[in-house]
Chains A and B, each alone.
Chain A
């Protein structure tokens, strides 16, 4: 079973920040938080990952709470092309057997 809980769907206005939450209350000390997204009929795309510090790259920011039991993926300026299913995954260091949960379906509206 997936170790994360995410809302089923979310809406966001184009140009606004999209904040996608994820609960991973049973995360272990050696597990990273990964985010992927899947645009319709494509393979998943890596977005970002982190252990305990906040992370930022050209696509998004990842905010992890101090107790590491939850995190938020932030897309700072959502565009229509960001409409996708976003998966939050916890995975141990060096482990790649990724188990996907249901994810959050993000709709970016004009």
Chain B
């Protein structure tokens, strides 16, 4: 199966700062990546679909100006949480599709103080 990495694995930041999370597909080119977030004891919630070379498609209720997604290459998508607040603290997970399957990254835990 595909290997998906995320960086950083965890991050702590102050309220009002911006945080960038990277998602990399290590062994194949991914034209589409997905971003999810997960609050404690809840299921994964799809945030957006990231398409290489074009604008991301956001799910209803997800602020596109707050969660900036860039998919500049076939192996890298980034999620930037702008002006983070404590309520943005969550587990962020990316996913890539390839070989007819969907594979998930290990997740990034964001804590906003």
**Does A41 make an interface contact (CB < 8 A)?**
yes
Instruction: Give chain A nearest CB distance to B84 CB in angstroms.
Output: 20
**Does B67 make an interface contact (CB < 8 A)?**
no
Q: Give the interface residue-count category, chain A.
A: 10 to 19
**Does A107 make an interface contact (CB < 8 A)?**
no
In the complex, the number of residue pairs spanning A and B with C-beta atoms less than 8 Å apart equals 46
Instruction: Judge whether B93 and A44 touch: CB under 8 Å.
Output: yes
The count of chain B contact residues (Cβ–Cβ below 8 Å) is 23
Pick the contact of A98: B1, B34, B107 (CB < 8 A). B34
Instruction: Judge whether A42 and B34 touch: CB under 8 Å.
Output: no
Q: Taking each of A38, A43, A98, which has the highest tally of chain B beta carbons within 10 Å of its own beta carbon?
A: A43
B109 / chain A contacts, CB cutoff of 8 Å: 41
Q: What would 27 A/B residue contacts be, using CB atoms closer than 8 Å? A: A41-B91, A41-B107, A41-B109, A42-B107, A43-B4, A43-B93, A43-B105, A43-B107, A44-B44, A45-B104, A46-B1, A85-B43, A96-B32, A96-B34, A96-B97, A96-B102, A97-B34, A97-B46, A97-B49, A98-B34, A98-B95, A100-B43, A100-B45, A100-B46, A101-B43, A102-B43, A103-B43
